[in-house]
Amino acid sequence: MSTPARRPGSLRLRRLGRCDYGLVFAAMRTFTDCRDDTTLDELWWVEHPPVFTQGMAGKPEHLLAPGDIPIIQTDRGGQVTYHGPGQLVVYCLLDVRRLGLGVRALVSALERAVIEFLAAHHITAQARSAAPGVYVVDAKVASLGLRIRQGCSYHGLSLNVDMDLEPFGRINPCGYPGLRVTQLRDLGINLDLNMTAEELLPCLGRQLGYADYAAIGGLP
């Protein structure tokens, strides 16, 4: 597999800490609507309070017993997923037209980054062409969901680090009944969210062709 061409400029890595999903969702849309040809690409990393999010194709029958966890309708692709404390979420605010990436190529780049990260910890993982995400044996450790608008992407990926997996049992994760999920802790990788982000985000950058990074904080 060829190495992506090196990109000019820096990829901005924006740390948001723990932040409400609705606030970040609105900020992603605003950022995408306001960006122009000179806007730098950004990866936003965040931890959300418990929330279920439905993709545009989401079917209500995949919400089995949400209980007191809120459900938010989003404009990303895919079905329902869960976000919560102990999960690293990385939103990809990218000019994909400028990067020369189609949707499938972008999805593959994100999957390869997670697979590269896991391989560094001696965990063999794989992607599935019919069901985007990253899997260890038959359990999903990372989920993907994207939206492309005006040649730019937002939404992104979530990686289960060290969390309560029980809420995944209240849904059919990503629309697949009985789909098993796992997390880094259960795979023997003992990293917190900050350490995970420090390792994963450069993997993502490399897959996108970036070598230079600028760390910033807070919503734009």
Q: How confident is the model at residue 1 (pLDDT cuts 50, 70, 90)?
A: very low
**Length of the chain, please?**
220
Does 134 map to a domain?
A: yes
The response to whether 217 counts as a known ligand-binding position is no
Distance CA 42, CA 200 (A): 14
Count of structural domains, the chain: 1
Q: Which residues lie closer than 8 Å to 47 by C-beta, 6 or more apart?
A: 17, 18, 19, 85, 86, 87, 88, 89, 193
The response to whether 121 counts as a known ligand-binding position is no
Percent of the chain with pLDDT over 70: 96
The response to whether 83 counts as a known ligand-binding position is yes
**Contact, 64 vs 25, CB < 8 A?**
no
The response to whether 126 counts as a known ligand-binding position is no
| CATH for 82 | 3.30.930.10
Q: How confident is the model at residue 4 (pLDDT cuts 50, 70, 90)?
A: low
pTM: 0.95
Does 4 map to a domain?
A: no
Does 5 map to a domain?
A: no
pLDDT digits (tens, 9 = 90+) for 48-73: 999 999 999 889 899 999 999 999 99
- Specify the pLDDT at position 131: 87
Q: Which residues lie closer than 8 Å to 63 by C-beta, 6 or more apart?
A: 52, 54, 71, 80, 170, 171
Does 6 map to a domain?
A: no
List the catalytic residue out of 92, 152, 174, 203.
174
The response to whether 82 counts as a known ligand-binding position is yes
Does 3 map to a domain?
A: no
Q: Is 19 a catalytic residue?
A: no
Does 2 map to a domain?
A: no
Which domain does 195 fall in, by range? 11-217
The response to whether 156 counts as a known ligand-binding position is yes
Buried b (16+ CB within 10 A) or exposed e, 120-143: eeeeebebeeeebbbbbeebbbbb
**Contact, 133 vs 174, CB < 8 A?**
yes
The response to whether 157 counts as a known ligand-binding position is yes
- Specify the pLDDT at position 2: 46
Does 70 map to a domain?
A: yes
Does 61 map to a domain?
A: yes
